[in-house]
Structure 1
Amino acid sequence: MKIAYILFDNITWLDFIGIYDPISRLKSMGYLPDMSWDICAYSDKKIADSFGLEIVPAKIKSSLANYDAIIIPGGFGTRELQFDTEFIEWIKTAGIDTTKISICTGSLILGAAGFLTDKKATTNFQEYEALKPYCKEVVNSRIVEDGNVITAGAVSASIDLGLYLCEKWAGQNAQEEIRKKMDYRG
């Protein structure tokens, strides 16, 4: 399994770290030893949240076609990026069979790229109206899976989504062991 984490300025880091931590344990704990991931961005500069915490992406503007999954966190940056045609065209390079995953307002990016057409999805509860034009139905739920698209609600749902994906990709036992290692009681 090969994953592309999509990062951008004004990201909410918990959206990224909350899903990254349990998924990375699939590899480190031996459940999916061949799993790999790239930190991808459209911009060639350091990615920062609104407080200045920075991460340097490894892949810049690289095609997303060869990934099994793309994961798009949320943050205030999504509000502008959903209207950035060049950025959205880059997101559209994800393959047809690629699983598209978002946390919080990352679903606005999936929607702008056309990946939510005729699908149910969720987002941050404050952005339900913004998501409506992109999908068949906005669902007030923590995690929504519809075909090859999985969306999660607000920020704290990132850990839940990470554990959900652990179970989906490696089974209930893997998910439970990872949850225990994280001492997550959610």
Structure 2
Amino acid sequence: MMHTLLQTDLRFGVIYSDSATGTADVGCVGEVVKHEKLVDDRFFLICKGQERFRVNKLVRSKPYLVAEVNWLEDRPSANGEDDVEGLANEVESYMKDVIRLSNRLNGKPEKEATDLRRNLFPTPFSFFVGSTFEGAPREQQALLELEDTAMRLKREKETLRNTLNYLSAASAVKDVFPSSS
């Protein structure tokens, strides 16, 4: 696959699959931004996620999957009243608090997390936030499948709020029982 990829446009589909839930219908295009061939014919890749897709039909399964897809774009919010800019700012604030408290619990220096949004509009920011939920692939997949930025940001806000509550409790325990780190 890599040799074919390197001879074309360096883009490929990534789709979540596990033994419990099977293969997802929604995936993301990955673009190789840097690659290095290793001596044993493997590759070291740096990839960036691009647009999302939904699989319509599997065209081929060997030597790798090939599918017909529809491209997905976020629809306007269902009720049209959601302040996505405000939601994005709230999510950023929760992220900063989670980072600060997580660093404190892990004994890292407490430095202020600066502009996490990096001037991103709410939709790309919502995908960035989802990408930080490492270790929770099913949640990341659920976020990828949402086609409404406001709904995605609300779900991320709730996840970050729950994480912050957990970290706050852990921090309180650590303060009371310092030797139980």
TM normalised by structure 2 equals: 0.28
Whose strand proportion is higher, 1 or 2? 2
Higher RCO structure, 1 or 2 (CA under 8 Å, sep 6+): 1
Whose helix proportion is higher, 1 or 2? 2
TM normalised by structure 1 equals: 0.27
